[in-house]
Amino acid sequence: MVIDYTKLGVKAGLEIHQQLDVGGKLFCRCPAFLRNDGPDFLVRRKLHAVAGETGEVDMAVQYEANLKKDFIYQGYNDTTCLIEVDEEPPKMIDERALDEVLKIALLLNCEIYPATQIMRKTVIDGSNTSGFQRTLLIGHDGFLEMNFGKVGIAMVAVEEDSARLIGDKKGKEVVFRLDRLGIPLVEISTKAQLYNAEQIKDCALKLGEILRVCKVRRGIGTIRQDLNVSIKGHDRVEIKGFQDPRIMIKTVELEVQRQIDDLKNKRKNGEVRNSKEDGTTEFLRPMPGGARMYPETDLPLLKINRDRINAVKKNLPKLKHEIRDELKKIGLNDELMKLILDNSNNLDEFETLIKVYNKDANLVAKMVVLWRQEFATRLKKSFEELKEILSERILEKVLERVAEGKLSEGDVKNVLWEVAGGKDIEKALKIDKVGDDALEGEIIKIVKEKPGLGANAYMGMIIGKMGKNIDKRKAMEILNRIVNK
C-alpha cells in the first residue's frame, strides 16, 4: 500500500528519554549502578491522595487503585541513601549531569534558559518514593538540520529516572528497586514537524547519532522513545517504545492506516499505544491530562550563566558527519574511513596516533583497523590477543620512529609483523635500521653490476633478488638517488 502522507496531513514528533552516564545520580551522591543481587533493606510505603487543583479524572481513578496498595522499595546500604527513600531533602544537582545536558541542548542548537526551577512532576504509580519526579527545563527552540529541512526541537529537559519495577503491578503489593531511581535522564522533544515515515526514521537516527557522542548509557532500557503522530482530523496518538529503527517505518505505516480506519468508523480519539515487535501497536491507556507540576521547594532556583554555557560550547563533541569531513581532509580513503568510524575505540586510537604521525592517514588507519586483524588470522590468534601485543603504545612507538625519520613508512608493517610474532619492539626497530642499510648496499651492488638501466628495470631485479617483502618505496628512493647521481 502506498500512503500519500501529504494528502493525509500526517504530523509527527519524537520524544526521547535517554539515561546519562555521568557516574552518579541527579540529586544525591549515590553511584548510578543497577544491581542484580538481593537488597539489604526494604521500605514499606503507602500513597495518599493529594488534593489536586484541577479535575484530572484519569489521575484520580488511578489514584483510587493505588491508594489501597503497599509499595515495597528495595535498597542497598552501599548504593542507596536517605534521599532515595525520601527521608532527606535532595542535594544540589549533579554538575556533570548538568554539563552533559547543556552539551546535548547546544548540539541541538537550543536556547538555554538563564534560570530554571527544579520542578516536581506528580507521579502516582509508586515508582518514585516521594510521589513526584524531579525535572527541570534546560533548553528550548532548537533545531536539527536534516537533509529534508530543519526540524524544530521544542525542549530539552533533565529529570530523575524512576525506581525499577520488580515483578508486576497487579497485586496488592508492588515492589520497586531503588537502584535506578534518580539516575539522570535527558528528555528531548521535537516539534511536530515530521511529515512522513522516512522523515521520522531519519530524525530518530540523527538524534541517536547526537546522543552517542555524549555521555549516555548504552544497552536495553537506557533509551525510551515515544512517537506522537496524527493524521488530519484525528487526535494525537502517542506510541510508546518506538525505538527500534528496523520497524519504525512499518510502525508508522500501520498506525497511519489504523487512524484512517478510525476516521472511517467515526472515531478520532487520541490515546497512548504500545509499540510491538511486529510493527503493530496495542492500546495502553487513554491520553493523560497535562502533567501536574509544582516547584521543588527544597532547592533554590538554578542559574546557568553565560560562562558556563561558553565553557560547554568550547568542548562540544564532533558529530559523525563532522568527523567524516575532517578525516577526508587529511586524506583518509573511503574504505578505511568506514572501518575507523565503525566503532568509537577505533576512532579514539586513530585520533591518538595521527597526532604522532600525520603525514599518512591511510598508514595510521591500516595499523589500527587492518593489520592486527590480518596478523591474527595468519598467526591463528584472536584479535584481542593481537591487540594486547600490538597495543596502542607499541603503535605509537613505531610511529614516533617514522616521524623522526628513522624508520620508513614501508617498513612499518614488517616491524609490526615481527613484534606480533614475539620479537621485542626495541629489537624489531633496530634490526630494521640495519635492514635499510642492507637494502641500500644490495641496490648499489645491482646498479654497479648492470649500469645504465632505468629505475623500473632495476626495481624488477631488486625484487627478484630480495623478495616481495622489501620496502618498495624506500628502494625507489634509494634507486632515484643513486641513478640520478
Chain residues in the site for other proteins (CB under 8 A): 43-51, 53, 63, 82, 85-89, 111, 113-117, 119-124, 129-132, 135-137, 141, 155, 157, 290-295, 297, 301, 303
Q: Other C-beta atoms within 10 Å of 185: how many?
A: 27
Q: Which helix H or strand E contains 313, and what residues bound it? A: helix 306-314
Cα–Cα distances (Å) from 396 to 164, 315, 368, 391, 432, in that order, read: 45, 25, 11, 9, 17
Q: State how far Cα 246 lies from the chain centre.
A: 18
Taken in order 272, 275, 276, 280, is the CA torsion positive or negative? positive
Residue at 343: amino acid letter: N
Nearer CB in complex with other proteins: 94/296: 296
For residue 157, the number of C-alpha atoms closer than 13 Å in the C-beta half-sphere is 22
Is 153 in a helix, a strand, or coil?
A: strand
Neighbours of 474 (CB within 10 A): 19
Which run of H or of E encompasses 104? helix 95-107
Q: Which is nearer to other proteins, 192 or 425 (CB)?
A: 192
Q: How many residues does the chain have?
A: 485
Q: Which is nearer to other proteins, 48 or 218 (CB)?
A: 48
Least distance (Å) between residue 136 CB and other proteins: 7
Q: Alpha-carbon distance 257 to 231, whole Å?
A: 10
Nearer to other proteins, 293 or 431 (CB): 293
Query: Which residue, 286 or 300, has its beta carbon nearer to other proteins?
Result: 300
Nearer to other proteins, 299 or 347 (CB): 299
Q: Which long-range contacts (CB under 8 A, 24 or more apart) does 474-477 make?
A: 474/408, 474/410, 474/411, 474/436, 474/439, 475/439, 475/443, 477/408
Instruction: Give whichever of 297 and 373 is closer to other proteins, judged by the CB atom.
Output: 297
Question: Among residues 24 and 139, whose Cβ is nearest to other proteins?
Answer: 139
Q: Which residues contact 452 (CB under 8 A, 6 or more apart)?
A: none
Q: Closest approach of Cβ 47 to other proteins, in Å?
A: 4
Are the beta carbons of 110 and 142 closer than 8 angstroms? yes
Phi and psi, residue 197, nearest 5°:
-60, -40
Q: Are 341 and 365 in contact (CB under 8 A)?
A: no
In terms of CB distance, is 142 or 435 closer to other proteins? 142
Pull the grid cell for residue 53. Answer: 487543583
Query: Looking at beta carbons only, is 110 or 443 nearer to other proteins?
Result: 110
We find the least distance from the C-beta atom of residue 290 to other proteins, in angstroms, to be: 6
CB of residue 56 to other proteins, shortest distance in Å: 12
Q: Which is nearer to other proteins, 140 or 423 (CB)?
A: 140
Minimum separation from the CB atom of position 162 to other proteins (A): 13
Of 452, 445, 454, 451, nearest in space to 476 by CA: 454
For residue 101, the minimal CB distance to other proteins (Å) is 14
- Report, in Å, the least distance between residue 61 CB and other proteins: 15
CB of 37 to other proteins, least distance (A): 22
DSSP 383-396: HHHHHHHT-HHHHH
In whole angstroms, give the CA distance from residue 84 to residue 182: 7
Give the nearer residue to other proteins in terms of CB position, either 86 or 442. 86
Q: Smallest distance, Å, CB 190 to other proteins?
A: 14
To other proteins, the closest distance from the beta carbon of 236 in angstroms equals 15
Tell me how far, at minimum, the Cβ of 237 lies from other proteins, in Å. Answer: 20
3-state secondary structure at position 159? strand
User: 301, 408, 292: which is closest to 359 by C-alpha?
Assistant: 408
CB 349 → other proteins: shortest distance, Å?
A: 42
